[in-house]
Structure 1
Amino acid sequence: MLRHEFQPGKLVAGFFLTLTGVIYAGDAGDAWDTPWFVVIPVVTGGLCLAGAVALVTHAVRRRRAEPSRPDVSV
């Protein structure tokens, strides 16, 4: 049994923030040269994508939890 509910939006956000850390770590270790403004689209795009994934996940879970109503014609 799961201790908590799986939240893919947080997974996506964590991935992009980890990617940002890897980009800065590579720059600090002289593996490559990264301009400071490169990570702004990575973080912003990642957070927007995470928000979209969370919104879709919420909509799917809400729809599945909704009890089906019988079609009553008057």
Structure 2
Amino acid sequence: MLRHEFQPGRLVAGFFLILAGVVYAGDAGGLWETPWFVVIPVVTGGLCVAGAVGVLAQAVRGRRGAGRTNPAGAQPREPS
């Protein structure tokens, strides 16, 4: 049972931010030389892709859930 809904946009954003961290860590460790401006397109491009994935996921989720009366995982309350 999932404790929260899957949000692929956040997964993509996290991947690109980790990629930016790895690029700078490799530069700091001396594995390669990275100019300071390289991470700007990686982060902005990753956030744009993450936004597009989030909008697409919301559109798919909204279309699938249009006929449902209860939100996913919600149980109807019984009168006490």
| Same fold per superposition (TM over 0.5) | yes
1:28-66 deviation line (CA, Å, top 9, x unaligned): 000000000000000000000000000000000000011
Q: TM-score if structure 2 supplies the norm length? A: 0.83
- Where in structure 1 do 4 or more consecutive aligned residues deviate above 2 Å? none
Unaligned runs of 5+ in 2: 69-80
Tell me which residue corresponds to 1:54: 54
Q: Percent identity?
A: 74
Cα distance in 1 between the residues matched to 2:67 and 2:15: 34
Aligned to 2:9: 9
Higher helix share: 1
What TM-score, normalized by structure 1, do the two folds share? 0.90
1:67 is displaced (CA, Å) by 1.5
Count of residues paired in the alignment: 68
Q: How does 1:1-74 map to 2 (within 5 A)?
A: 1-67=1-67
* Letter in structure 1 aligned against 2:45: G
Q: CA RMSD in A?
A: 1.1
